[in-house]
Structure 1
């Protein structure tokens, strides 16, 4: 066998074989895959093999769709039948809420070219008489979906990989990873079978690889320990049972009728499909435990856990009601095995934090569905430098090693498992492992009625409900339309537009970049001009392909001293990219020091036409009346001020588009500052404001948000931000940015939508004819300034013209929308520059 390769893939399940196949297909002719046991011996062998296209994630939907299309081509290429039964996928709804969920998904599906069909209960009964439909509202049906044999599709991909030159070695376990500065040296142990167990031999081999990909499935925690990183990929027990023959089903098939689609009974937390005249019933129940938090025991191979019938009794009985003909069918077999999860259900795909040329493909709860697409898009990232879709939502660094622990991952993964079929409201907030990261003012805000959201482990107020609410008041009233929080967010947004509001922005990511090489580095690293000392600028760090990798507000505190503020949800994602880029350029530019100071500084954002009046009450200055004036403290500048006894690094900027300041303060003084501002704001009617109102307000100003409008699938020019790109200088990604041009364009839309709903930012956009799809929304909400729905999104460039009439798909209907000007609220920035 070879001992030196371009890429080494560790793990021989469906995901690993797909990655090896696609790397070879993308042109790498020196790829090896190793597996500690047999191919498919992990979770692959006991997977049910379903291929659900249904997913609310734009990236994951693309991945799933690629897999479904790709698997259909494997037999022609390899000669092996992958066992793909294209029977369709019938996802049923018992409630209008569930239908609302499907309608939101369907609009997202359209943006990814995923076909679907709506069925009424009568239409379901007409096609599949064995299904009881009396309690149903309807269903969404994917005709091109179905199920596949996990072992067969894995072996087909493995054969396809071998045909393209990939070496595959079984019974070879990776035991150590060492980076020698240019390559990985992977120490492997040859495994042998003895008495039915897999044990280590004395034979070792070291494989040197330029790139390593780990796809270790249930062994992810062992992999993480060897790499010296943390990742929240921990298995949870998943049960499916095989039922004896259903006599009516046998008759149905003997009469020449087609196989039933995969039946997804979401409100009964289960799925079912035919299996040799009977049914396979899979369940996502409450109480399924996490397993192998500290690693898989050496004795565990292709093993299972004991069946816990009590845990799945309700779903088992519900199946007998859904398909009454199976009520007398006995239990033929059961599978209760480990399936790896992550806290949000999305896998960990991308570069490992802090490491060079180490790629993770871990935490796949729907591994068979995701395997094909993961191999395709990860190969693009590795071979080309970037994928054609934005993979940030799957990046392993979305869970920071600064706070993510084993206990957190285990409890959140259990919660994620039981939420597979719980309604996925866009405004949902899941309670497990919370609160975890809290700013000092958390308790004070909670006492004022704050209802918190979760961002990068932090508790952040979403909105403020009535603090004196009766016991039966539902703070968590969620909906696919306007939830119980909606009116509170309206009131908060109006407070900022008309008076003053205070927002807790402590979760912002904050870095200090300084040293002799700092200025040259940041000038190359970002695409806008650097600010002068005492001033700020908005800028972007780009990928090698010229798309947006990170958005920064840069405050220049000194000639070679900078304070960088970026999105709170992406702390380690930003930190890793920043540090690696600086390391690469230090020899060229000089010493660069980078400090993550996120937890050292709290942030309050005060905004609104009366915000200056509030601050005048507490600022300590020789002339308080002019201290905050445009002359002494102009827009887009930064100053160190004192508010009472609290030193504050104040930045004259507001994400809401009003007169305002960000008040960056020592976090240990946060409660003092909160009390001071709250008291000063009383006579000016200042209101505490949450993230949801702020999100609406920034859309009225057309402020792009990272992870929504800004990402790795569009350039800043496509985001229609040419004013933040200095094409007179050289910067990372410039050549590709210019070469790419403008394929799509970001715009803001005002929408005449339904009276009880607003867009969420997942919806498809159509031309005025209602037939031609022209783009998709990336943000959505309500505008208090225009008293109608608002959204931002990407459309074809010729459509992104003010006044263009479009249609937006909401609740399975088309609603009128019009492209408005950039920053429809205060387009001349008069309020944000308000004199004083």
Structure 2
């Protein structure tokens, strides 16, 4: 073999379709000092046995954009490289056998209009005309995507590898990486069986080996292999290469023409994890034994869907490993633990149809140091350290494989690997009727059932079974007082004589304030995009408490720690587990707390946006007067060991004030009525505070400036290309969730970022950005100028730049 170079700008570990795509795209941006190392041969892990589907419609806007780009790339790859790819654009059909599934497909078809992906809603008869082999007796409808297709995964990978080599990349097979080197802060290179390579960047694309390789250097990349099955039938009457790819979601199956045969695969709801005891050192182009008994029920369903299979012969029963993640979303981007260490793995059996887009965004991300678009849903920094726990992964992936084809109901909860992280008052909330959901490992009360009931979700795209309970919780917060357990908040302390200077450079707002003052602020990137949305409380001249969302605990800690200049006297500590949080919100909040607290809680003594230590029960707790529901209220930060005692005191006194336990669904509904933003949905690293209507939280003229200031100054001068608007449906019946197109006349002006039924306002409410018709500056927002499309139907809305509930903030400052 050729001699390994001693130095490279980028070393890619793993020669599957993902690794080769990243190498290809790095050369496309002009980086030719790229080395790809493969332990055996290209594609020999899982790529070689990929079924080859190339679908474009994903559950979110940006993921669909990546898949759409992949399809476009594959269409021209053979002509560019001269390497056959086996790509064929035959279209695809997704079928629904019940109204709920059909609703999901129609909503997806509406979403696809936002970025010009043609998706047609079709009848059973039209499905039969497009695919005559299909039995449509139980089908109620479906969608047809003409630009979908399939390809040969090995050929695609070889074409990408050839393109990468043409661009200057070097690819070495049979070269196992034995160690990733680092200095404790960033990667420095790799060791292999044939020598070492110094590198500025290392990209781990190791498929099912990624978890262990990443863990060896302290990087959390949770994934686990599962058995994945398909069968090749020969002698199937009525098929040819014009047959669209078929997806029968309700029976977990997919069908693809394959060189004169029909490939039938499945994503079953109860998967079988594989490789729990490690993966053989010589694993290469290997199959695994699998279980025909496990797959047989799915095979029987397939024969009912395609009756011609009953007379066909089985040429091949195949089982191979595929890696799956806890939330069925990929892992992309730079790790939180080590600078220069990037990961692209955990593709959840959709690697081929994702590889083009993944390669493109990863190349840009490595070059620029920040993601090229809002990729938070797949950002590796969303992961918590506990998620690489092997027991957790084994249990969760039995469910996550099947979620690919499950109905993606709003508010759908994971059923496996539950009870990982619990509040100190978890059992008390269960006794109070809590129906807990799972978020980032936390058990969080989403809603409360009636006394004596066993609250359990009954999923639907319409009003779910907790709708009325949610209405009562919202009413209690608006008219009396509600109790929320928000212990899942991420909580950090920054301490030291330079803490103020460090934090003020990172925060867009001014945090050089008196101790006891609480500041709402954003952290921005150099483009002015919002990296974090949080509160900062000054505890003393040298100490701050930073409170952010549970979802962004790893990311936000990483962002701040990487922006502490070398030599600064500022120590950052994650204290999330040290404190629970109980929020008391509503017009009776003061009266309730004052009845059990000797401190003066009057508006004069305890103004809005301030924080004090107060006595509650036997504890000293930090009370912060802030709200995410638009009412008078306090967040109580309680040392964990005091949580149960303080909770009991509050509940014992609460009956006299109309206290009601409230969950996260009520919190979401109430914040939507007030148009409070949620990071990751309404505001992202692509959106600026000016576009999001958060200019009040930006201090442009503060001493020393802040990260992103120059971008905001320029944007202010040029005018806004988009504005975040609150929408309220004029009809009380339809339900808004997210990704619904916003129409202004005959054009799509944007899409809904988040939606929820607003009980106080009497209809579904949504937040979404609107753009100008000519891609220019956004003008005035007319209250009646817009419609929102839901499952193919447009509904009139009221639009507003100001909150539709209490726009003057009178209720929070009483």
Q: TM-score range by the shorter chain?
A: over 0.9
2:105 aligns to what? 102
1:238 aligns to what? 228
Q: Post-superposition shift, 1:655? A: 0.5
2:735 aligns to what? 758
Secondary structure (helix, strand or coil) at the match of 2:216 reads helix
Query: Contact between 2:740 and 2:788, CA under 8 Å: does it hold in 1?
Result: yes
1:777 and 2:752 correspond:
yes
Q: Post-superposition shift, 1:554? A: 0.4
Query: Contact between 1:350 and 1:361, CA under 8 Å: does it hold in 2?
Result: yes
1:564 aligns to what? 546
Query: Are residues 754 and 105 of structure 1, via their aligned partners in 2, closer, same or farther at CA, if it must alter by over 3 Å?
Result: farther
Query: Contact between 1:807 and 1:815, CA under 8 Å: does it hold in 2?
Result: yes
- Equivalent positions of 1:135-174 (< 5 A) are 135-174=138-177
2:400 aligns to what? 416
Secondary structure (helix, strand or coil) at the match of 2:478 reads helix
1:611 aligns to what? 589
Query: Contact between 2:204 and 2:214, CA under 8 Å: does it hold in 1?
Result: no
Match of 2:517 among 502, 510, 535: 535
- Equivalent positions of 1:52-91 (< 5 A) are 52-91=55-94
1:594 aligns to what? 572
Q: Post-superposition shift, 1:144? A: 0.3
Query: Contact between 1:286 and 1:311, CA under 8 Å: does it hold in 2?
Result: no
1:808 and 2:783 correspond:
no
Query: Contact between 1:506 and 1:603, CA under 8 Å: does it hold in 2?
Result: yes
1:131 aligns to what? 134
Range with greater deviation from structure 2 (444-453 or 283-292)? 283-292
Match of 2:678 among 676, 684, 705: 705
2:774 aligns to what? none
Secondary structure (helix, strand or coil) at the match of 1:586 reads coil
Q: Deviations over 1:385-423 (max 9, x none)?
A: 333321111111222115651111121112101222221
Q: Deviations over 1:699-750 (max 9, x none)?
A: 1111111111121111111112111111113111222333455332111111
Determine the C-alpha separation between the residues in 2 that align with 1:646 and 1:667: 11
- Equivalent positions of 1:232-631 (< 5 A) are 232-249=222-239, 253=240, 259-293=242-276, 295-365=278-348, 366-402=350-386, 404-469=388-453, 475-530=456-511, 531-582=513-564, 585-587=565-567, 590-621=568-599, 627-631=600-604
Query: Are residues 3 and 510 of structure 1, via their aligned partners in 2, closer, same or farther at CA, if it must alter by over 3 Å?
Result: same
Determine the C-alpha separation between the residues in 2 that align with 1:181 and 1:289: 37
Match of 2:192 among 185, 189, 206: 189
Determine the C-alpha separation between the residues in 1 that align with 2:166 and 2:143: 39
Determine the C-alpha separation between the residues in 1 that align with 2:158 and 2:283: 22
Determine the C-alpha separation between the residues in 1 that align with 2:813 and 2:683: 26
1:831 and 2:808 correspond:
no
Query: Are residues 700 and 800 of structure 1, via their aligned partners in 2, closer, same or farther at CA, if it must alter by over 3 Å?
Result: farther
Q: Deviations over 1:277-331 (max 9, x none)?
A: 3310001124432122454221322111114111111211111111112211111
Query: Contact between 2:88 and 2:151, CA under 8 Å: does it hold in 1?
Result: yes
Query: Contact between 2:130 and 2:243, CA under 8 Å: does it hold in 1?
Result: no
Determine the C-alpha separation between the residues in 1 that align with 2:784 and 2:166: 51
1:207 and 2:197 correspond:
yes
Q: Post-superposition shift, 1:586? A: 3.4
Secondary structure (helix, strand or coil) at the match of 2:22 reads helix
Determine the C-alpha separation between the residues in 1 that align with 2:741 and 2:403: 26
Q: Post-superposition shift, 1:800? A: 6.1
Query: Contact between 1:88 and 1:146, CA under 8 Å: does it hold in 2?
Result: yes
Secondary structure (helix, strand or coil) at the match of 2:53 reads coil
Secondary structure (helix, strand or coil) at the match of 2:36 reads strand
Query: Gaps spanning 5+ residues in structure 2: where?
Result: 772-776
1:229 and 2:219 correspond:
yes
Determine the C-alpha separation between the residues in 2 that align with 1:301 and 1:310: 26
Determine the C-alpha separation between the residues in 2 that align with 1:493 and 1:76: 59
Query: Are residues 595 and 387 of structure 1, via their aligned partners in 2, closer, same or farther at CA, if it must alter by over 3 Å?
Result: closer
Determine the C-alpha separation between the residues in 2 that align with 1:42 and 1:300: 7
Q: Post-superposition shift, 1:181? A: 7.3
Secondary structure (helix, strand or coil) at the match of 1:532 reads coil
Q: Post-superposition shift, 1:425? A: 0.6
Secondary structure (helix, strand or coil) at the match of 1:421 reads coil
Secondary structure (helix, strand or coil) at the match of 1:345 reads coil
Q: Post-superposition shift, 1:479? A: 0.9
Q: Post-superposition shift, 1:188? A: 3.5
Query: Contact between 1:760 and 1:779, CA under 8 Å: does it hold in 2?
Result: yes
Determine the C-alpha separation between the residues in 1 that align with 2:605 and 2:42: 69
Q: Deviations over 1:573-614 (max 9, x none)?
A: 1111221222xx132xx2111110101111011111111111
Query: Contact between 2:490 and 2:550, CA under 8 Å: does it hold in 1?
Result: yes
Query: Contact between 2:494 and 2:573, CA under 8 Å: does it hold in 1?
Result: yes
Query: Contact between 1:222 and 1:295, CA under 8 Å: does it hold in 2?
Result: no
Q: Post-superposition shift, 1:778? A: 0.8
Query: Contact between 2:45 and 2:283, CA under 8 Å: does it hold in 1?
Result: no
Query: Contact between 2:223 and 2:388, CA under 8 Å: does it hold in 1?
Result: no
Determine the C-alpha separation between the residues in 2 that align with 1:791 and 1:800: 19
Secondary structure (helix, strand or coil) at the match of 2:509 reads coil
1:749 aligns to what? 727
- Equivalent positions of 1:36-55 (< 5 A) are 36-55=39-58
Range with greater deviation from structure 2 (341-350 or 412-421)? 412-421
Query: Contact between 1:547 and 1:737, CA under 8 Å: does it hold in 2?
Result: no
Query: Are residues 568 and 474 of structure 1, via their aligned partners in 2, closer, same or farther at CA, if it must alter by over 3 Å?
Result: closer
Query: Contact between 1:49 and 1:147, CA under 8 Å: does it hold in 2?
Result: yes
Match of 2:631 among 653, 658, 682: 658
Secondary structure (helix, strand or coil) at the match of 1:172 reads coil
Determine the C-alpha separation between the residues in 2 that align with 1:211 and 1:545: 23
Determine the C-alpha separation between the residues in 2 that align with 1:73 and 1:787: 51
1:633 aligns to what? 606
Query: Contact between 2:267 and 2:405, CA under 8 Å: does it hold in 1?
Result: yes
Query: Contact between 2:724 and 2:801, CA under 8 Å: does it hold in 1?
Result: no
1:731 and 2:687 correspond:
no
- Equivalent positions of 1:665-676 (< 5 A) are 665-676=638-649
Q: Post-superposition shift, 1:159? A: 0.9
Query: Are residues 26 and 753 of structure 1, via their aligned partners in 2, closer, same or farther at CA, if it must alter by over 3 Å?
Result: farther
Determine the C-alpha separation between the residues in 1 that align with 2:727 and 2:190: 56
Query: Contact between 1:230 and 1:405, CA under 8 Å: does it hold in 2?
Result: no
Structure 1 length normalisation: TM-score?
Answer: 0.93
Query: Are residues 804 and 377 of structure 1, via their aligned partners in 2, closer, same or farther at CA, if it must alter by over 3 Å?
Result: farther
Matched pairs, number: 799
- The RMSD of aligned alpha carbons is 1.6
Determine the C-alpha separation between the residues in 2 that align with 1:766 and 1:34: 49
Query: Are residues 793 and 468 of structure 1, via their aligned partners in 2, closer, same or farther at CA, if it must alter by over 3 Å?
Result: same
Q: Deviations over 1:736-786 (max 9, x none)?
A: 33345533211111112461x32002211111x2x3000011111122222
Query: Contact between 2:328 and 2:403, CA under 8 Å: does it hold in 1?
Result: no
Q: Post-superposition shift, 1:113? A: 2.9
Determine the C-alpha separation between the residues in 2 that align with 1:51 and 1:248: 23
